[in-house]
Amino acid sequence: MFDELKTLCELNGTSGDESRVRNYIETHINADKITTDPLGNLLVFKKGRKTPDKKIMFAAHMDEVGFIITDVSENGFLSFGAVGGINPSVVLGRALCVDNKAFGIVGTKAVHQQSKEERGKIPPFDEMYIDVGGNVDISRGSFAYFDTDFFRFGDGFIKGKAIDDRAGCLIMMDMINGEPEYDAWYAFTVQEEIGTRGSKTAAFTIAPDAAIVLETTTACDAAGVSGSKKVCELGKGAVVSYMDKRTIYDRELYSLAFKTAEENGIPVQTKTLVAGGNDSGSIHISRGGVRTCAVSVPCRNLHSPSCVIKESDYFAVKKLAEKMLSAVAEI
Amino acid sequence: MNIKSLLKTMTEKVGVSGNEFAASNAAAELLKQYAEDVNVDAFGNVTGFVKSGRADAKTLMLDAHIDQVGYIVTNIDENGFISVGTCGSPDVKTILAQSVTVHGKKDIQGVVSTLPPHVLKSESAPKAEEISIDVGMNKAQVMEIVSLGDFVTVNSAFRELAGNVISAPAVDDRSGVCAILSALDMLKGKKMAYNIAVSFSAQEETGERGATQTAFRIAPDECIAVDVSFGRTPDSSPKETAELGSGVMIGYSPSLDSGMSNSLRALARNKNIAFTEEVMPGSTGTNADAIGVSGAGVKCCTLSFPIRYMHTPVECVDLGDVELTARLICEYALGGADDV
């Protein structure tokens, strides 16, 4: 799983630039029907042993947060904006990969030359620049990505960029390549990070009765954070949400997820704060409405070059996703 | 000598102020190709000597510091998260969500925590005491590997940018070490005017401590301190910075020997070596400050080259500037300054 996730996460694919990820997934799944819709969503159908009386859709987004070049100066300094919600503090002092062909550095003048006020303040993106060293053929509208390491560390933890939501993509790929119990649709969506846009058209086209969104979600179990502010914790299993900023989840599916987890000995938790949002937001109000559930891998430092997940949580989400296919089919 | 591969070798070694040995030992091995009596002392300083063959030759000390900025472990909390203090003055603003290596009983990987919006107190930059490193282990597991006082470095890589620009950690001042090694390579087999004493000194970033020791032991007649200076960025003042690729920076300062500064400038002009003057109104903020007042006093000058993003893991240098610095050192050691 580690090597596959690493390969998937190291592909650069921010919102609007998902083709590398889509091509990789398309060539690494064994499905019964694969189509790419006008926005770039990869819509996949896989037959199972049985055909349920309702249409079930899984969804995970292919895009990651990244950057877009807004201006190019002659001496190799590029202006840029963030694609998706990135805190400027995780961008300073980093190397980026620009347009998949050049390295660029984001920095400021030397710490020695900063005033006290400047030292205490993270500049906004419109005051930052990407330094590519000299003249490089980069156009406005090109994309840039964190160029960072991907590794396993500590007691079963994994660090890297784009784990949000390539983890969900990998689980769906494994489900497709396995022997699923029931027929299902799998939507590998685009543009989640800029407003859950791809899932809107994916859900329209597939027109499911029920949807299970596989995601990563913010865990804030960091030093000095206690109680409900942790939101959820690594090592405590799959996260099933009752509500976030975009969705109040189907109560029956929410309860079913917990029941299914308990029956199968899968560790499961919920969020202790109404925060975040994902593709469920557009899926559950698609067409005449879709009963929707989200199962997520808890993730520290979301939307940074250092997303951190725990392997055991990933496997809990994977197992729960597989079991939920049958459980939802049998409602 | 290929400066690029030399810089790659030297920037891949770790040597935070206070524990420079991995970098010092690597530099000592390289220095042995050119120098005699190469030694790494208990402090982490590297010294070595190249004789000119002339009986009346003065001793010219060539110094670059071997240490790099980093962090030091100050606490391990009940959940295994690690707190750190700074060694030297790394740009703490750049630390959030960086991957790091904790150099404990063995090297372990970790990540600097960053908090999501619902608990982030403000948009202000993090302070050193707020840094928390997640190594994915509980306290007991961490304590088996990590002790207070262990060093931490931010992970980064050697990257080639456009032009002749390299981005890597510890360019400050391993590129200075490379400039000196490269100068020695150029001098190989040539008749020098000076006996050369090389000092790759420890703990510059924490207050020029290593150079204080090597300068005392060597007691040179003159010294060229090679260090990095401020490269121009869009947000910096043109008066306080030099463009990458503009050549070697010759130091002018009340604390430096103006005769040496003038000689080096005349020599650079004579040999068509691109240069700028780096004027520092007080002291220089380099090892020259300590070396100049060592023993009965040492005539000093600084040779620098501009780098961008100093004290971050992605420092950028133009290899051409490093090579021009090496050339000017070489010409000076050959006695060229006496002819101009």
Residue A212 lies in a domain: yes
Residue A27 lies in a domain: yes
Q: Are the beta carbons of B240 and B251 closer than 8 angstroms?
A: no
Structure tokens at B259: 């005769």
Mean pLDDT, rounded, for B160-164:
94
Output the average pLDDT for chain A.
Answer: 96
Looking at residue B340, what is its pLDDT?
63
* Of the residues A146, A172, A201, the one at which a domain ends: A146
Are A52 and A72 members of one domain?
Answer: no
Are A244 and A218 members of one domain?
Answer: yes
CA gap A68, A81 in Å, rounded? 5
**Chain A closest CA to B275's CA: distance in Å?**
20
Are A206 and A303 members of one domain?
Answer: yes
Residue A325 lies in a domain: yes
The predicted-structure confidence for A45-74, as pLDDT tens digits, reads as follows: 999 999 999 999 999 999 999 999 999 987
Q: Are the beta carbons of A268 and A237 closer than 8 angstroms?
A: yes
Residue A156 lies in a domain: no
The predicted-structure confidence for B231-265, as pLDDT tens digits, reads as follows: 999 999 999 999 999 999 999 999 999 999 999 99
Please, which pLDDT band fits residue B116 given cuts at 50, 70 and 90?
confident
Are A85 and A223 members of one domain?
Answer: no
CA gap A280, A288 in Å, rounded? 14
CA gap B23, B277 in Å, rounded? 30
Residue A155 lies in a domain: no
Mean pLDDT, rounded, for B17-41:
97
How many Cβ atoms sit within 10 Å of the Cβ of residue B151? Answer: 20
**For chain B, where do the domains classified as CATH 3.40.630.10 start and end?**
3-68+169-339
Do A148 and B99 make contact, defined as CB atoms within 8 angstroms?
Answer: yes
Query: What CATH code would you report for B3-68+169-339?
Result: 3.40.630.10
Residue in the block written with tokens 């003065």: B58
Mean pLDDT, rounded, for B26-34:
98
Looking at residue B106, what is its pLDDT?
97
Looking at residue A48, what is its pLDDT?
97
Are A71 and A113 members of one domain?
Answer: yes
Do A111 and B89 make contact, defined as CB atoms within 8 angstroms?
Answer: yes
Q: Give the 3-state secondary structure of A95-119.
A: EEEECCCEEEEECCCCHHHCCHHHH
Q: CATH number of the domain at A118, please.
A: 2.40.30.40
| B122 pLDDT more than 80 | no
The ipTM value here is 0.93
Are A191 and A256 members of one domain?
Answer: yes
Do B161 and A151 make contact, defined as CB atoms within 8 angstroms?
Answer: no
- Between positions 47 and 76 of A, the ones with CB within 8 A of B are 73, 76
Residue A71 lies in a domain: yes
Of the candidates B111, B157, B233, the beta carbon closest to that of A301 is on B111
Three-state DSSP at A41 gives coil
Do A95 and B90 make contact, defined as CB atoms within 8 angstroms?
Answer: no
Please, which pLDDT band fits residue B124 given cuts at 50, 70 and 90?
confident
Residues of chain B neighbouring A74 (CB-CB closer than 8 A) = none
Q: Are the beta carbons of A69 and A80 closer than 8 angstroms?
A: yes
Burial of residue B106, with CB atoms counted within 10 A of its CB: 0-12 exposed, 13-18 middle, 19 or more buried? exposed
A225 touches chain B (CB under 8 A): yes
Closest CA to B84 of B164, B13, B150: B150
Looking at residue A155, what is its pLDDT?
96
CA gap A121, A272 in Å, rounded? 31
Do B119 and A220 make contact, defined as CB atoms within 8 angstroms?
Answer: yes
Of the candidates B115, B311, B316, the beta carbon closest to that of A222 is on B115
Are A273 and A204 members of one domain?
Answer: yes
pLDDT tens digits in sequence order for chain A, 331 residues long: 999 999 999 999 999 999 999 999 999 999 999 999 999 999 999 999 999 999 999 999 999 999 999 999 878 899 999 999 999 999 999 999 999 999 999 999 999 999 999 999 999 999 999 999 998 999 999 999 999 999 999 999 999 999 999 999 999 999 999 999 999 999 999 999 999 999 999 999 999 999 999 999 999 999 989 899 999 999 999 999 999 999 999 999 999 999 999 999 999 999 999 989 999 999 999 999 999 999 999 999 999 999 999 999 999 999 999 999 999 999 9
* Of the residues A100, A121, A146, the one at which a domain ends: A146
Specify the CATH superfamily of domain B70-154.
Answer: Peptidase M42, domain 2 (2.40.30.40)
Structure tokens at A276: 């975040």
Interface contacts (A, B; CB < 8 Å)? 211
The predicted-structure confidence for A270-283, as pLDDT tens digits, reads as follows: 999 998 999 999 99
pTM beyond 0.80: yes
CA gap B216, B219 in Å, rounded? 5
Q: CATH number of the domain at A195, please.
A: 3.40.630.10
Instruction: List the domain range (segments joined by +) for residue A102.
Output: 66-146
Are A240 and A104 members of one domain?
Answer: no
Are A107 and A248 members of one domain?
Answer: no
The predicted-structure confidence for B52-96, as pLDDT tens digits, reads as follows: 988 899 999 999 999 999 999 999 999 999 999 999 999 999 999
